[in-house]
Amino acid sequence: MNRNPVIPFILIMLMGVGLIFFMSAHGANKGEEEGGDGAKTEQKFDAKTFAKDNCTSCHGQNLEGAMGPKLAGISDTEKAKKIIREGKGAMPAHDQSKISDKDLDTLVKYLKDAK
């Protein structure tokens, strides 16, 4: 009796596709099961993390100044907010889509208190 060698491969592929479909459908409802309505929760702003991710490459690991000026212990908070929002020289601007006004206030307070 001659068996077709393609049939086992087709069956394995169909089982794999079925498994992928089942796992995808199961995962789509996971947010509702674990988090209530599945809505995304707003992350709490962390000024230290924001500064580490966005400032230290130019202003130094401890914000002591490097390519950019020293940020630790800034005194003129309004000027700092303006520069962060509008940018200056090589400093890029960070608009509302990057950091909200409330988070900007938190960041500037963090920079002012940094030693």
> Which residues carry a binding-site annotation for heme c?
55, 58-59, 91
Q: What are the binding residues?
A: 55, 58-59, 91
CA distance 89 to 84: 11
Q: What is the CA radius of gyration of the chain?
A: 26
For residue 21, how far is the Cα from the chain centroid? 29
CA distance 98 to 30: 29
